[in-house]
Amino acid sequence: MVDDLDHFIRGLPKAELHMHLEGSIEPQLMLDLAARNGVAMRWSSAEELRAAYQFDDLRSFLDLYFAGCQVLVTEQDFYDITRAYLRRAHLDGVIRTEMFFGPQSFTERGVSLSTMMGGILAAIDDGVHEHGLSAGLLISVHRHRSEAEALRLLDQLMPWADRIAGFGMGGAELGNPPAGFVNYFRAAKACGFRTTVHAGEEGPPAYIREAIELLGVDRIDHGVRCMDDPALVRDLAARQIPLTVCPLSNLRLKGVASLARHPLKAMMAAGLNVTINSDDPPYFGGWVTENMVECRHALDLTIDELVQLARNSISAAFVSAAEAADMIKRLDAYAAARPTDR
C-alpha cells in the first residue's frame, strides 16, 4: 500500500550515482531493439524475458546482462536507452544522475566509440534540456579484461574528455582484485578525472581497502562487505568516502537473505557515507525510488534517515561545490514540507 511517505520518497530530490545504462533496458525495449537490429533473442515476450531475471549470484546475472548488450548496435539504440532512463529518473525525483557505461562490451563487436558516445551524449543533452536535471557519464572498464585494454580505452576516449564525469571499473569481482588496475586509475586521475570502483559487493573487504589505498578512488560502488571488517568501517567513516549501495541488487544477487537483513541501516549507524541507487533496475525489480521505498519498509527508515540518504547522494556527486549547494537547497525546501513521520 502506497502512503504519504512513499509519495514523499518519489519526489525527494536526490542523486543517483550507481546505475548502468546497459542494465537499464526494460524488457520490451530490449525486444524492440533486437527486432530493429535483427538480433535473435531466446525470449518471445517481455513477460518471458522478465521471468528470466532470476539469479544465483553476480556471475549468473552478468551472463544475461552481456546477452542484453547484443541488441545495442546503432547510434539511435544508444540514444534510446539513455533517453528512456533519463525520463524515468526525472519521474523518480532524480536531480543529478551519473550513469555508468562500459564501451568494451561493444567495441569487441566492432561498434565504434563515436556511435556509442554520439547517441548517449545527444540523449543527455535532450534529457537535461527537457527535464532540467543534471547528468554525467561515467565510463566503466571491465575488471576481467586486462589493464592494458583499460588504458587504451582511456586514451581513445580523450576526444570526449569534457563530457565524461569520471572513470570506474565493474564486472565479476571475485578473482579480479582492484590491485591489478593501479596504473589505469593513476592515469585517469592524472587526466583530471574523478574515479570510482565496484568493490565489496561479492569480493572481500580487502578489495575495498585496495581501492582506497592503492587506487585512491573518490567513491566505492557497493562496499557492503566493509561491515565484515570493523577497522575498515572506522576508516571509511573517518574519511567519509561515499559508498553507492544498491539494496535490491544485493537482494536479487543473493548478497543478503532478505532486505530486512541488509546492512544499510547499520552502515548509517556506523557513520558511513552511504547512498541508495538502483544498479540495473529492470533486472533487480526496482528503480531508485523502489529501492528507497522498500528499504524504508524493511528497515524502518525514518524521514530524517531518508533525507540524509538523499543529502549524502548529492554531496557525493561529481559536481562543483556550487552545484551541490544549489541541489541541497532544493532538497531542504522539499524536506521542509514533509509529511508526518510514520
| DSSP per residue, 51-94 | HT---SSHHHHHHHHHHHGGG--SHHHHHHHHHHHHHHHHHTTE
Q: Which helix (H) or strand (E) holds 221?
A: strand 219-222
Is 94 in contact with 133 (CB distance < 8 Å)?
A: yes
Is 196 in contact with 168 (CB distance < 8 Å)?
A: yes
Please, what is the end-to-end C-alpha distance for the chain in angstroms? 13
Which whole-number Å values give the CA distances from 270 to 24, 228, 232, 234, in the listed order? 31, 13, 11, 8
Q: Which among 29, 132, 17 has a CA at the least distance from the CA of 84?
A: 29
Active site residues: 201
Exposed / middle / buried, residue 149 (Cβ in 10 Å: 0-12, 13-18, 19+): middle
C-alpha cell at position 270: 556506523
Q: Which residues pair with 8 in a beta bridge?
A: none
How far is 100 from 249, CA to CA, in rounded Å? Answer: 15
Q: Which among 99, 10, 25, 43 has a CA at the least distance from the CA of 281?
A: 25
Q: Which among 270, 286, 269 has a CA at the least distance from the CA of 278?
A: 286
Taking only Cα atoms into account, the Rg of the chain, rounded to an integer number of angstroms, comes to: 19
How far is 77 from 34, CA to CA, in rounded Å? Answer: 10
Exposed / middle / buried, residue 225 (Cβ in 10 Å: 0-12, 13-18, 19+): buried
How far is 192 from 158, CA to CA, in rounded Å? Answer: 11
How far is 232 from 247, CA to CA, in rounded Å? Answer: 20
